[in-house]
Amino acid sequence: MTIPVIAGAHTVPFVKQSDDMVALGTGAVHGLLASTGIDRGAVDAVVSASGNGGTLLGQRILTRLSMTGIPVFNVENACASGASAAHLAISMVRSGQARVVVVVATERLSAFGGGSLRLDPTDIEAAQGNIMPASYAMRATRYLWENGLKPRDIAGVSVKNRANGALNPIARFQSEVTLDEVLESKPIADPLTLLQCSPNSDGSSAVLVCTEDAARELNLDSIKVRASVITSGLFSDGPRDLTLPDVTLRAIKEAYAQADIGPGDVDLAEVHDAFSIAEVLYYETLGFCERGQGARFLADGRAHIGGDVAVNPSGGLIARGHPVGATGVAQLGEAYEQLTGRAGKRQVPDASVAVTHVTGGGISGVDNGACGVHVLTV
């Protein structure tokens, strides 16, 4: 069976506000084509992703690039939209349906104004106020109580990720912050403050998924896709453990099995740090440390660049920004830059194995609506 590779990536800077969603996607694809030097006629198909992009976003992007007529697939899976689009492209290449596929993921959240992301008003939990900040605040409160911790023990995620974002030219926030600044920022949902929340952003990212033969013919550096997994949440009408993200646990177990690796093999991980507590929980769920030890893992510097496993060297959602549908592809772009030695000042030393992880959507009775995990190697 063909091993798909990622042979190029381009992400436009994530910003607070842009004027044209289609222009964002056009910029990402144009940048990808320019950086790889690939002829547009060599692209067999395009998979476009967005959480809120409306109908036929992929076709609208390609029309501006004179790339019409080829198969285009538009994907929506909340924050996991980009990862889901990549999964479909990888499946197409692996099965022999295509040799070269462009994945582009785009979001313009500024169109909705500020505040928390909108959830389905007919969802019973959302209607009762269980929006994302509230959900993660409950996770944080439970985690701190169970482990005898203080809010400052998880707030260090923001300090680390803002420091990483300061090294990333496409990041929404490119300045460092102190722990006191994080803790003293505007309260959002106790114990979470503003600087512990990922910012709504506009942005787009594109990657080139192809066969190894195609990458060689095009003389492109590439990384291998060893695993690509999409899971969805399991429904339960009973109590659920807010500190054990089941949808992620199932996805990461399957991904490790597909790639024939374990957590100790991972050099860097781009994880869904929508809020500070999320990253701490994912240290544990991805197997980097034991349950209840995530805050200690962070405090000991083991999640920093140069630590046991560099978590969110891009700055993550907290610093790079979170244009929801584009996040999963931007994570793959970071993995490509890291594993090909293009990450500049944020380069993880001797990186050879990367994991990307993103979750999406809030639905009553489930942990998350969707989860996408990829394992990439040199």
Report CA-CA distances (Å) from 189 to 136, 139, 344: 8, 11, 36
The string of pLDDT tens digits covering residues 82-93 is 999 999 999 999
Which has the closest alpha carbon to 367: 248, 257, 273?
Answer: 248
271 compared with 368, residue with greater pLDDT = 271
The answer on pLDDT for 344 being more than 90 is yes
Would you call 266 helix, strand, or coil by DSSP? coil
Q: What is the pLDDT of residue 259?
A: 98
**What pLDDT is recorded for position 126?**
67
Give exposure, 12-39, as e/b (b: 16+ Cβ within 10 Å): bbbbeebeebbbbbbbbbbbbbeebebe
- State the pLDDT confidence band at 121, using cuts at 50, 70 and 90: confident
Kindly provide the residue ranges of all beta strands, DSSP E only, lying in 144-212, ordered along the sequence.
187-189, 192-193, 202-210
Query: Which positions are annotated as active-site residues?
Result: 79
| Structural domains of the chain ordered from first start | 5-112+202-225 (3.40.47.10), 124-199+227-377 (3.40.47.10)
DSSP per-residue codes, 65-134: TT-TTS-EEEE-BTBTHHHHHHHHHHHHHHHTS-SEEEEEEEEEGGGG-SSSPP--TTSHHHHTT--HHH
Return the half-sphere exposure (C-beta side, CA atoms, 13 A cut-off) of residue 137: 15
Cα angle value 329/334/339 (rounded, 5°) = 125
pLDDT band at 361 (very low <50, low <70, confident <90, very high): confident
Handedness of CA 191, 193, 195, 197 (dihedral sign): positive
What H or E segment, with its residue span, contains residue 26? Answer: helix 21-36
Q: Bin 292: left if φ > 0, else alpha if -120 < ψ < 50, else beta.
A: left
Question: pLDDT for 202-259, tens place per residue?
Answer: 999 999 999 999 999 999 999 999 999 999 989 888 888 889 999 999 999 999 999 9
pTM metric for this prediction = 0.96
Q: Is 176 left (phi over 0), alpha (psi -120 to 50) or beta?
A: beta
